Structures are given as structure tokens and as C-alpha cells.
Amino acid sequence: TLPVIIDCDPGIDDAIALLCAFVAPQLNILGICTVCGNQPLPNTLRNALQITELGQRTDIPVFAGCHQPMFREPIHGQFHGENGLGNTAFPAPQKQPETLHAVNFLINSCEQAIRDNQPVTLCVLGPLTNLATALRMKPQIAAGIARVVLMGGAYHEAGNRTMTSEFNMLADPHAAHVVFSSELNITVLPLDATHQVILTPEHVGKFINVSGRISQPLGELMAFWDRNDIRRYGSRGGPLHDPLVIAYVLAPELFGSEKARVFVEYNSELCMGQTVADWYGKSGQTANVDIVTRVDAPKVFMLFYELLSRYAGN
Ligand code: BDR
Ligand code: CA
């Protein structure tokens, strides 16, 4: 099995990603880190705990991470409802978060991975604050990270929070800069990829049918995700941003990518958080990021059905 850590800010699509990852037999989820993003940290932490209970994966430790972006004032998500989970009511979590800070958990896990010679894969579904802080505290942890697979940025696509910028990048562009200027192996699932995987009302109906004991809350989360913006997405529904990270980790052969160096704008108000790819080697810096631009969407949906149908009969 593949050792992974999931760093997230649930968030409806984060929640769907977690529910997919929980039942993937190939993954050994070492822990879930939470961060300020779609909601303030106390809420993303609570939501992560609630989702581990829904998925019956309270064996996975959940850690509270950074309360604020590195430098900017926090911004929060717009499409996740008051509670960050589409206003679906979940019982107050029984499970307690760990006392260790998420950044220390990341550092400890990477150091352990170096000792065991078994590097971990980091799945980052929110702003990059925790990982950037860990890298600033202990750059040596890079040797314990096999790959960072993250959702963020927009290349040929326009932004989704501003004209130029995707939410996770805009929420903490300085952290994104720290990560992209490191020498880590990075794969990004940008809007260019996630906008190819629109969860339509027809899909939602099918997921409700297959997902057994989680079908009601899952159906509510998914129904809330409908952006009703046909001009942008080509149909009703919403993009499955964060679950695509999990799909990539499980089945990279369903995706196509281009390699480039990535830079993140953190100085301009107009373009704050914009991701800029050096497609043609203008910067003189080595290409270190695999930017996913092609997705076999029908097969990715089949993978999601296969995963979420594991909740039927368990
Ligand atoms: C990203 O922003 C958040 O609102 C989603 O959870 C996703 O991680 C998409 O831009
Ligand atoms: Ca997210």
C-alpha cells in the first residue's frame, strides 16, 4: 500500500475526496491535516472529524494545522454553505483531534519516512500553508516526500476566485511560492483538469444509488455542489476538484500532463495568486511540476463509482 497524508480544508469536494480515499485499498492514510481555507480552521477541523465518522475511518488521526495563511488575511470558500459541508447536518464529532500540530505531524512523518526509506505521498486539497511552514521549519523533510499531488492553479483556464486565480493559490500565494520554488516532485491538478470532470445531476443520481449507507449525506453534499453555471461548465453541476487528486494517486494512467516550472504571483493585486507556467523554458530553471491537462473523465467517474459503491454493504 501507498503511504499518504491528506492535507485539506473540508469543504464539500474535500469531503468527497476523503470519502473516496477512505475506501481505496491501495492507500495507507497516515493522517489527515486540516488548514484554514474554505472555512476557518476550527470548522475545517470539525468537518474533517465528522467525515471520518461518516466514513467509519476514525482510526485515522486528524490534526489541526495553520490558523492563518503565511502573510495574507484569510479568505474563505463561497460554494460550501454556512458550515462548509453544504449545510448538511452532521452530528457533533465524538472523535478528538490529535494534540500534535499538523505541521509537526508532517515533519515527523517525513523524518520517519526517511528512516524507513519509504517516502510518503502528500495529497494537498487546500491552501499550501501547512506544507510550506513544514518546509521552512525543516527543509530536509523533502527527502521523505515521494511526491506532492495538489489541487490548485489555472493555466489555460481563467481563475475561479478572481479573473486570474484559483482559490487555493489565492488563499495563500506565499505558501504556494514556497512549495513551487522547492525541489519537490509536484503534480498539480489545476482547473484545466478539474473542469473536465463536472459532477452533473445525472451523476449525482447514480452516486446516490450506489453508495449504500452514506448515500443520503453524500447526495446532499453533491446536490449542494451544483453551480448552475452552464456558461462556465457546459452543463449543470460542479467540478470535482479535490477528488481528482485522489483519482490521480490511484490511477495516474487516466491523466496526461506537461512538465514545466511554475511561478506564483504574490506581489500584484490584480494577478495575486496567479500560477504562471514556464512552458518554453524562458526562466532558465528546471521544470519541476507535472501539470495535468488531460483527463479520461468517463474512466475517472467509473473509478469514483467503484470506490463509493464500497459503502454499500459495509
Ligand atoms: C479549490 O477551492 C476550494 O473551494 C475547493 O475545495 C478546491 O480545493 C478549487 O478551486
Ligand atoms: Ca479544498
Of the pLDDT bands very low, low, confident and very high (cuts 50, 70, 90), residue 314 is low
Query: What does each C-alpha distance from 264 to 76, 86, 203 come to in angstroms?
Result: 19, 30, 34
| pLDDT at position 294 | 98
Per-residue pLDDT tens over the stretch 176-231: 999 999 999 999 999 999 999 999 999 999 999 999 999 999 999 999 999 999 99
Pull the grid cell for residue 39.
472555512
Q: Tell me, what DSSP letter sits at residue 137? A: H
Ligand nearest to the CA of 8: 2
Ligand 1 test: best mutation among 6, 7, 8, 13, most atoms within 8 Å of CB? 13
pLDDT above 80: residue 37: yes
- Greatest Cα pair distance, the chain, in angstroms, is 54
Q: Give which of 203, 206, 200 is closest to 235, Cα–Cα.
A: 200
| pLDDT at position 313 | 75
Kindly provide the ipTM of the predicted complex, given to two decimals. 0.99
Ligand 1 test: best mutation among 7, 242, 246, 248, most atoms within 8 Å of CB? 242
Per-residue pLDDT tens over the stretch 47-70: 999 999 999 999 999 999 999 999
Ligand nearest to the CA of 48: 2
- The residues whose Cβ lies within 5 A of ligand 2, an ion, are 9, 11, 14, 125-126, 242
Quote the ligand 2 centre to 14 CA distance (angstroms).
5
Per-residue pLDDT tens over the stretch 127-158: 999 999 999 999 999 999 999 999 999 999 99
Is 101 a catalytic site residue? no
Of all residues in the chain, what percent carry a pLDDT higher than 90?
A: 99
Quote the ligand 2 centre to 118 CA distance (angstroms).
27
Q: Give which of 20, 29, 74, 4 is closest to 240, Cα–Cα.
A: 20
Ligand nearest to the CA of 169: 1
Contact status, residue 130 vs residue 33, Cβ threshold 8 Å: yes
pLDDT above 60: residue 299: yes
Quote the ligand 2 centre to 35 CA distance (angstroms).
10
**Helix %, strand %, coil % for the chain, to 5?**
40, 20, 40
| pLDDT at position 10 | 98
DSSP per residue, 216-232: HHHHHHHHHT----HHH
Q: How far apart are CA 104 and CA 269, in angstroms?
A: 32
Quote the ligand 1 centre to 241 CA distance (angstroms).
6
Q: Would you say the C-alpha torsion 63, 195, 190, 161 has a positive or negative sign?
A: negative
Length reported for the chain: 314
Ligand 1 test: best mutation among 7, 125, 128, most atoms within 8 Å of CB? 125
Q: Which atom in ligand 1 lies closest to the alpha carbon of residue 166?
A: 10
Query: What does each C-alpha distance from 144 to 84, 121, 185, 243 come to in angstroms?
Result: 32, 9, 11, 24
Q: Which residues line ligand 1 (CB under 6 A)?
A: 11, 13-14, 38, 77, 125-126, 151, 160, 166-168, 241-242
Q: How far apart are CA 35 and CA 37, in angstroms?
A: 6
Across residues 94-116, what is the average pLDDT?
98
Q: How far apart are CA 132 and CA 55, in angstroms?
A: 29
Contact status, residue 70 vs residue 133, Cβ threshold 8 Å: yes
Per-residue pLDDT tens over the stretch 238-247: 999 999 999 9
Quote the ligand 1 centre to 109 CA distance (angstroms).
25
Catalytic residue, chosen from 80, 177, 195, 241, is: 241
Quote the ligand 2 centre to 131 CA distance (angstroms).
14
